[in-house]
Amino acid sequence: MEARLREKLEALTRDHQQIAATMAKPEVAMNPDAYRKHARKYAELSELTHAFERYKHEEAGLHEAQRMLHNESDAELLELARDEYERLKASLTEREEELRLLLVPKDPNDTKNTIVEIRAGTGGEEAALFAADLFRMYSRFAEIRGWKIEVMNSNPTGLGGFKEICFRVAGDSVYSLMKWEGGVHRVQRVPDTETQGRIHTSAVTVAVLPEAEEVDIAVDPNDLQIDVYRSSGPGGQSVNTTDSAVRITHKPTGIVVICQDEKSQHKNKAQALRVLRARLLDIKIREEADARAENRRNQVRSGDRSEKIRTYNFPENRITDHRIHLSLYKLREILEGNLTELSDALNLADRAARLAQQDL
């Protein structure tokens, strides 16, 4: 292992030990916010430090096997030492690569819940129907992963599509997998209404926002204009007869959030504030990413919502992710929520790009 890499790992191991000592202090243990902050950092470093301990343990074994090869005269023991030396040498190469990958900075938002907004783009009713297909795909994916989905706002069409739908996904490390879905999704298929059998191309835009906690984004109530009105569209009798719908305008940015799917005005207001904080955090993330534009060019995810990220070709049963030039001929299986192969490939490509930037 290179000296520079070892020095970095030793320094992070010391940081890990120091954080553990800090968490044990009464003033930190009694402060939930401070303890949570340190615990998150401790957990982030734990996998790395444990992997480094395994590396050092096997490295010691390699040195012992090497010593035996130089000093042992018994043929049988020499053979055993040689086998152990070769095994540990190969294992240490793998361990070092694992450590390099673990050193790649993780997205601090990966553990957050996520707010997803799907909007029909070009293609009219066909785009709205595909927006509904995507919502179903993400719902099935969430079910497979054991996540919970909560619809926050929707604008359905008469044929079962959505002009737009906004929903929250809660669970374990949601954003780490869902973040790859942000961008333009293009669909090529023959619509049910097409009598000539011609293939139509439509587009749907997906925005994926890490859910912001109040500690992430502070919203000044004086910056908000809150309007209430009667909900529109399908719903229970109270939905359309009471002022339960809420529209929040964030005056400094001009962001407008509408929530009307809940019967309670209070619940709709809480949902709208969630979406607002997520959008404000998204702006903050994009500004920080723009400041690192040179590095960002080399990463898998550009973050540009106008970027065409994926094509769903029904006649060929093909789905193509244009960011990593991956085509899978299992479109219908993926639309049933089996997104793991895609998200794993995107995560791997992103980690490889980030690793190349680390120069370790």
Residues 198 and 72 in one domain: no
DSSP string covering 200-250: EEEEEEEEEEEPPPTTT----GGGEEEEEE---SS--TTTTTSS-EEEEEE
Residues 27 and 63 in one domain: yes
Residue ending a domain, among 245, 270, 288, is 288
pLDDT band at 289 (very low <50, low <70, confident <90, very high): low
- Residue 65 belongs to some domain of the structure: yes
User: Is residue 308 scored above 50 in pLDDT?
Assistant: yes
Residues 122 and 191 in one domain: yes
Burial class (CB in 10 A: 0-12, 13-18, 19+), 3: exposed
What pLDDT, on the 0 to 100 scale, is given for residue 214? 64
Residue 174: what residue type?
A: V
Give the HSE-up count for residue 195: Cα atoms under 13 Å, Cβ half-sphere. 0
What pLDDT, on the 0 to 100 scale, is given for residue 232? 65
Residues 52 and 187 in one domain: no
Neighbours of 285 (CB within 10 A): 17
Instruction: Express each pLDDT in 13-30 by its tens digit.
Output: 999 999 999 999 999 999
Return the axis-axis angle of helices 75-103 and 3-23, rounded to nearest 10°. 70
Give the whole-angstrom CA distance, residue 151 versus residue 60: 55
Instruction: Express each pLDDT in 114-132 by its tens digit.
Output: 999 999 998 888 999 999 9
Residues 311 and 272 in one domain: no
Residues 136 and 261 in one domain: no
Q: Yes or no: say if 136 and 162 are a contact pair by the CB < 8 Å rule.
A: no
Residues 247 and 349 in one domain: no
DSSP β-bridge partners for residue 184: 205, 308
User: Is residue 303 scored above 70 in pLDDT?
Assistant: no
Residues 6 or more apart from 290 whose CB is under 8 A from it? 296
User: Is residue 229 scored above 90 in pLDDT?
Assistant: no
Q: Yes or no: say if 42 and 20 are a contact pair by the CB < 8 Å rule.
A: yes
What pLDDT, on the 0 to 100 scale, is given for residue 156? 92
Return the axis-axis angle of helices 32-71 and 3-23, rounded to nearest 10°. 140
Residues 137 and 201 in one domain: yes
- Residue 108 belongs to some domain of the structure: no
- Residue 109 belongs to some domain of the structure: no
Residues 279 and 305 in one domain: no
User: Is residue 94 scored above 80 in pLDDT?
Assistant: yes
Q: What is the CATH number of the domain that holds 126?
A: 3.30.70.1660
User: Is residue 301 scored above 60 in pLDDT?
Assistant: no
Containing structural domain, residue 172:
114-215+297-356
Mean pLDDT confidence for 300-312: 67
Decide: pTM greater than 0.75: no
What pLDDT, on the 0 to 100 scale, is given for residue 296? 40
Residues 211 and 302 in one domain: yes
Most confident region among 33-47, 279-293, 332-346 by mean pLDDT = 332-346
pLDDT band at 299 (very low <50, low <70, confident <90, very high): very low
pLDDT mean across residues, the chain: 85
What pLDDT, on the 0 to 100 scale, is given for residue 298? 42
Q: What is the CATH number of the domain that holds 249?
A: 3.30.160.20
Please identify which residue in the block is written with the tokens 């029904």: 314
Mean pLDDT confidence for 79-92: 92
Q: Yes or no: say if 244 and 236 are a contact pair by the CB < 8 Å rule.
A: no
Instruction: Tell me how many domains the chain contains.
Output: 3
